[in-house]
Structure 1
Amino acid sequence: MNYLRIIATMDPKSGGPCQGIRNSVPVQKKAGIENEVLCFDDPNAEFLKQSDLLIHALGPAIGPYAFSKGLKPWLEENLKRFDVAIIHGLWLYNSYGTFKVWNALKKRNKKVPELFVMPHGMLDPYFQKARSRKLKAIRNWFFWNIIEKQVVNGASGLLFTCERELELARETFNHYKPKKELNVGYGIPQPPDFDKKVSKVFYRKCAGLSRKPFWLFLSRIHPKKGVDILVEAYTRLKAENFEVPELVIAGPGLDTKFGFKIREMGKKQGIYFPGMLTGFEKWSAFHLCEIFILPSHQENFGIAIVEAMACKKPVLITDKVNIWKEISTENAGYISKDNKQGVYEMLKNWYHMKLAEKAEISSNAFKLYLNKFCVEKTARNMVHQIENGEKIETEPFTRFLRMDA
């Protein structure tokens, strides 16, 4: 079986979708699935040279719609080689451009693969309702009615990262009638073991941070992530003389207007802002922290949340994170409303929790990762659902995992 993944960019800085491809392709290869990636990046981009994947780069793309004149001829020549094609993301040319070629070939009775769309949360109603997105919401409404509705309803089906994403996609636009809705899941590889020597690199980025466990926020410094209400809740706890652990807020975006505001808010509280953490710096932060906190106003999946659970860390999140039900059901973390009072109560309740309860939640977090969010399972589940239209209901793929991690 040959799969084609079509995505606007494979730049790691673009976030989850391209990382999901990098995570799942090696696992699917073990199951006999060969993947090729089609993107609109500059073929000379450094991050492409460092990749082991077979990537066809047709860029650089043109304009905010990421148009690529090379897409149509490439697909007309190569689409017949594949059994399945998956469009990753909406609202850019890789979506409608691919569908248009696929549909035209299909009408001419040419051999075409099944075509699936993986929205990666881009059909979430939040993006049409958020006050800060009024103009983009209007743009998306026009795009939906003129272009994207054809893609979503005309493709072979939609692939979702979790059940809540699937449910929310039904609420956003009128005339939403996909042929199939498949919850294929989403996962990450097991993280590297903790390395005390490497952890020194992380501590150098947080000069003055004690060697005691700290609370960790690791994501974009952006209003959607709720980092401002986290700082306010943390400030309130300290003002009430709670001896809370130190707080590390890591991620890109400190150089924005909002990022500058957050730094100013956190200065008096001694909050640490190491910037974006990658590689072993990031994994050291997960391994060393006591808890991971992401009080987001909207999160389709939250790869960082699962990375924390894979490091046996409880996760404190809001009910606007689409995997909150799975975490709540398995007692793998703490869930709050995405407002100041909700986040404050969540942090305070965690602070007062007994050590035995905290240890149990840590254990549950790791078990949930193994059972539901390990890429060895989810990558194969995608293949199984595409071929059979149903989930794999089996034990996790523990034979691939270091259970003593």
Structure 2
Amino acid sequence: MERRNLLRAAVLGGSAAAFGGSLWRGAAHAAPAQPGTGPYGPLGAPDAHGIRLPAGFTGRVIARSGQAVPGTSYTWHNAPDGGACYADAGGGWIYVSNSEINPSGGVSAVRFSAAGTVTSAYRILSGTRTNCAGGATPWNTWLSCEEVSLGYVYETDPWGAKAAVRRDAMGRFKHEAAAADPVRRAVYLTEDESNGRFYRFVPATWGDLSAGTLQVMVAGSATSGSFTWADVPDPDGSPTTTRTQVPGSKSFNGGEGCHYTDDTVWFTTKGDNRVWQLNLTDSTYELAYDDSLVTSGTAPLTGVDNITGSSSGDLFVAEDGGTMEICVITPDDVIAPFLRVDGQSASEITGPAFSPDGSRLYFSSQRGTSGSSSGGITYEVRGPFRT
């Protein structure tokens, strides 16, 4: 995983979560990340919310499913999942969060002042199904993805001023996450199937997702090598699923999170606990992490799920199950726990996203302490994140 020498990036668009961190890659390929001492030190005792954090970090609850968001009259949705942050006027920001329930999933948003106070909360998408992950765009919209057979991508407005739009051209399949690439003007998409594929959508006009070409990654069966893209003949996936239309398209076991930065796409596969790295400048791919390739001790990351990045080049990967951790993978290929949520083993961690200034990390425990979708809890962690 070629992430040795760092250059700090300017944040593109309004979302540090989607476009943080610029990396200067070397020429040699490295082995997948291995456990080691993380940049933030060991985890402390659980706080009042059951979160174990490194020294210098604090956590708070932002919202709970079925309850009014504190400071507002808006009732927070069940089963909070994927999310992202957007810069708002006056130095504030907005955090959007999917609802992974069927029916009536959708997306909610919370607006913060420059001081971090919640000022409002509201709905930006309704009437959809099992909205799992998604991704931010450089033009400050949120792509919310339906994780159901023949599911759609919906483009939403984090400010709630414009109606959400279904983007049929982006294909119908069991969508998971999306990541926008402003250099190649494409949006990468994961598919949560045991034989899922990795896609990219190339809009006819950048910034307009109403028309374009859906393509699938073509590569061999190895865990590293070169790849190409091939057009998907029938993006609507009926009667033949998109993942079976192109001979030679590469199968991935349970596609989950997706993150783009600096000519690189990182995405995760939960079925085999892997983080994959696509090097877009030379069209090669490799493993960034694989729990079966940990050479000493216990693998710190299992149930590999949502992924995001910080402006330092660190990757933050959430667990679905495991020990309910968010782990950090550093540019030096060290992986270590960043936080752990105690007492919620029947839940999963979802929606990690950084505030635009990189000082706060938002995430949810989808089922909280109850183990039910009605028990979701959304958190904020604040502290000295690396920049």
Normalized per residue, the structure richer in helix is 1
TM-score norm. by structure 1 comes to 0.25
Which structure has more RCO (C-alpha within 8 Å, separation ≥ 6)? 2
TM-score norm. by structure 2 comes to 0.26
